[in-house]
Chains A and B, each alone.
Chain A
């Protein structure tokens, strides 16, 4: 069983709509969670992190964390064509290692 699970997509989203990405993890002791964006052929870049239950907003992005359900999500509001990318969910263990999901591909259609 994979430790971090994401739907691979592609997730097709009309321009201006909300994209909703989900991630589940298996290690109940995980403390911090990260969302990366990766454009094709490029390296991952950090969008945001969250470590407390609830919502955290940063511009058009909102991360949601529910530790009881071992679930973290990312919402992208007012989706733009430039948001088309693969989004990686990562969970940090006590050694500082990140466990990555395989990523969800998002395609924003004009």
Chain B
């Protein structure tokens, strides 16, 4: 079974703090993704990565950056946390896109509150 883990289930930070969210997958997947999920808005893609040291902007990258130094690890960074970044953050991984029947597997999520 695919296992995707995230460093924290719940996190409380203050406005202006730098926040690191870590994601690790154990299936040697090439693709990794970061989403945020808010009520009524569904899942929105922040950033994704197709390979080590590669990153691509998703639909809502503003205020975020990412790092992928190793294949199994994909980090989301909030450079200066703001209250509107309070949300559920979900990491996912998947095999290469050419296997179109393969889907994404999600981690348990991190509920971030910025005060």
Contact = CB atoms under 8 A, between A and B. Distances in A.
Interface stretch (B64-72, B73-81, B100-108): B100-108
A44 B33 CA distance: 14
Contact of B90 (A43, A46, A90, A95): A43
- Name the prevailing secondary structure of the B interface residues: loop
A98 interface: yes
B100 A102 contact: no
B108 A32 contact: no
Q: B40, B42, B104 — which one has the most chain A CB atoms within 10 A of its CB?
A: B42
A90 B105 CA distance: 13
Contacts of B105: 46
A1 interface: no
Q: Is the contact region of chain A dominated by helix, strand, or loop, or is it mixed?
A: loop
A20 B105 CA distance: 25
Interface residues of A, number: 23
Interface string A31-75: 110100000001111100101000000000000000000000000
A42 B109 contact: yes
Nearest to B38: A102
> Which residue, A34, A42, A43, A98, has most C-beta atoms of chain B within 10 A?
A43
A22 to B, nearest CB: 15
A2 to B, nearest CB: 9
Nearest to B94: A96
Interface of B: 31, 33, 40-43, 45, 48, 50, 58, 90, 94, 96-97, 100-101, 103-109
Interface of A: 8, 31-32, 34, 42-46, 49, 51, 88, 90, 92, 94-98, 100-103
